[in-house]
Amino acid sequence: MNQRMRIGVAAAAVILGGGVTWSAFGASQASTTDHHGWPTSSSQSAAEVVHAAQASAQDPESQVLTVVEQEVASVFIDVGAAGESPGDYFVARGRLWNRSQTMVVGRDAVHCTLGVRAFICDATARISGKGKIAVYGAFFSEDDARIPVIGGTDAYRDVGGQLTIANQSDGTTLLVFQLTRD
């Protein structure tokens, strides 16, 4: 998600915009960043993520779907104790583009809750004219960039697999769905 800021630690954290201190995963060296996006990103380049997904999709029942997400809106909700604490969450929605970013192919909605040294996220991607793909799972570190695909609708009914997330230098997020039929 390209416009959503990573959840930060600071008593006066700004919800949208401004730098924040990243320590949600309990890193001993928190850094200040103005990065927006999913709470994680692959340490591989976007090209490496796509190549690895395509290489692993040799099964005729497998499919690789690559989209580029551009965040449209997001909000961080601070519940309980002031500042970052378990239970805080963010919600966002985005526009999904084809890989070359020439055509909008859908949209997504994301909800991530801060746990104890992890983010628990659920999201749904709606691919226009094809159906929805649902994901759910936990991210345990900043470079833990995969989350399970738990199902879908219509053309994606009965799919499983995984979603790999890679933030791109232009502020967008590459979403690579490796889909298998159950």
CA distance 147 to 111: 13
pLDDT at 33: 31
pLDDT at 108: 97
CA distance 172 to 130: 23
How far apart, in Å, are the Cα atoms of 100 and each of 33, 48, 66?
Answer: 28, 16, 10
pLDDT at 55: 53
Which pair of tokens denotes residue 150? 């738990």
Which pair of tokens denotes residue 104? 């909008």
121-130 CB contacts, 8 Å cutoff, 24+ apart: 121/38, 121/39, 121/147, 125/67, 125/96, 125/175, 125/177, 126/96, 127/65, 127/67, 127/96, 127/155, 127/156, 128/104, 130/154, 130/155, 130/156
Q: What are phi and psi of 48, to 5 degrees?
A: -65, -40
pLDDT at 27: 31
pLDDT at 115: 92
The answer to whether 105 touches 98, Cβ cutoff 8 Å, is: yes
pLDDT at 30: 30
- What does the pLDDT profile of the chain (182 residues) look like in tens digits? 333 333 332 222 222 222 222 334 333 223 333 334 566 655 655 556 555 555 555 666 789 999 999 999 999 999 988 888 899 999 999 999 999 999 999 999 999 999 998 999 999 999 999 999 999 999 998 778 899 999 999 999 999 999 999 989 999 999 999 999 96
The answer to whether 62 touches 156, Cβ cutoff 8 Å, is: no
Report whether CATH 3.40.50.300 matches the domain 20-181: no
pLDDT at 14: 23
